[in-house]
Amino acid sequence: MLKPRPAIVIALGLFIPAAILSVFFLSKPDGKLSGEITDTGYVKAIGNGTDYNGVELSLLTMELNSDPKIMTVTWHNGSNDSITYGEVYHIYKSEDGEWISCADTKKNENGIAFNDIAYFLAPGTTNVHTYRNDGFDLSRTGTYRIQAVFFLNKDVPVTEEDHLTVWLDFIITEKSPEAAQ
């Protein structure tokens, strides 16, 4: 009897939740986004959070004047468990106290697609990861949140209920955040 390899089980376990999450994340925003239009705005991280103590994102760089826009973050696993994350993420904009999807449905009429790749992060380690923004509208000033999913490697097989989230809040302004204060 063949015994499945853990890496294959985890990779396959990530595919099903990624497909389900992509359908959830591809919903149209409830309305137009507010804020001044900017092509060369300034970005500043203002906070982060997670569903699992010890896992966090921090912002290294964001290139707003490139196409596609590039966001480079550091994944830090300060927990006692190995985690797996992938390319799937979503960006929201804060509008009247609610997080509204920034999915650009004009640019991506058929939805946003992600490569289904698994990255493993051992306890106490970090990894620099670059997200290409092909599908989210970051053309306006305001407060945004990038949210990504991850899984604990001890949860095999992985199901939709096993995913955890980590997020990073940032602002985009016309003037540098230091000059705006």
- What pLDDT tens digit does each residue of the chain (181 aa) get? 555 555 554 554 544 444 333 433 433 334 455 555 555 578 899 999 999 999 999 999 888 777 778 889 999 999 999 999 988 889 999 999 999 988 876 655 556 656 677 899 999 999 999 988 878 888 889 999 999 999 898 756 666 677 899 999 999 988 765 554 5
Q: Is residue 25 situated within a structural domain?
A: yes
Q: Is residue 159 situated within a structural domain?
A: yes
Name the residue range of residue 42's domain: 6-180
| Three-class SS state of 2 | coil
Q: Is residue 43 situated within a structural domain?
A: yes
Rounded Cα distance between 149 and 163, Å, is: 6
Q: Is residue 102 situated within a structural domain?
A: yes
pTM of the model: 0.72
* Sign of torsion over alpha carbons 124, 127, 133, 135: negative
Q: What is the DSSP letter of 168?
A: E
Q: Is residue 167 situated within a structural domain?
A: yes
* Sign of torsion over alpha carbons 153, 155, 160, 163: negative
Q: What is the pLDDT of residue 20?
A: 39
Structural domain count, the chain: 1
Q: Is residue 109 situated within a structural domain?
A: yes
Q: Is residue 1 situated within a structural domain?
A: no
Q: Is residue 166 situated within a structural domain?
A: yes
